[in-house]
Amino acid sequence: MSPIVAMRELGYPTIVCLKRIMDAKQKGIDTSMVIAGGLLDGGHVVKSLCLGADAVAMDRPFIIASKGRYGPKSRLIKVLENPADGIVNFVKAIKVEVQMLASALGKYSIRELSKEDLGALDKALAEMFGIRYVYE
């Protein structure tokens, strides 16, 4: 089996993992979970934390940031002397995004985030997580 097939076909989708975490916590099971997979920005981090993840892990954004290049290959805007600076910039950007989103929700700590802070565009997803459906 190729690694690509394994990555695409094995394991739970991130959203299913989040649902399992919520179910376990509601049953009083002491569990913690680090969510990874498909997380690209501060919005994904905030949504995961609102749905019960204790932490998140990202890989692809860090790989891209570590290249130290900004802009399309055909017309680079900037190339960093030290590619590690790209990772530092990315971490700072994610931190600011998460802080801004939490603040926009009236929260001043990410520990205060909860599923009441979310709304879903999909009715089935809203029902699955017990969150507000934005069209009602």
25-73 pLDDT per residue, tens: 889 988 888 887 778 889 999 998 998 888 888 888 888 888 877 777 7
Distance CA 62, CA 20 (A): 27
CATH (domain of 27): 3.20.20.70
Per the structure, the count of domains in the chain is: 1
Residue 2's pLDDT is what?
60
Q: Is the pTM of this model over 0.85?
A: no
pLDDT tens by residue, 78-122: 777 887 888 898 999 999 999 999 999 999 899 999 989 999 999
Residue range(s) defining the domain that contains residue 65: 3-133
| Across 125-134, average pLDDT | 92
DSSP characters over 40-68: -SHHHHHHHHHTT-SEEE--HHHHHHHT-
Residue 99, pLDDT score: 95
Where is 32: in which H helix or E strand? none
The number of beta carbons lying within 10 Å of the beta carbon of residue 101 is 21
**pLDDT tens, residue by residue, 5-28:** 766 677 777 788 788 888 888 899
Interatomic CA distance for residues 86 and 13, integer angstroms: 28
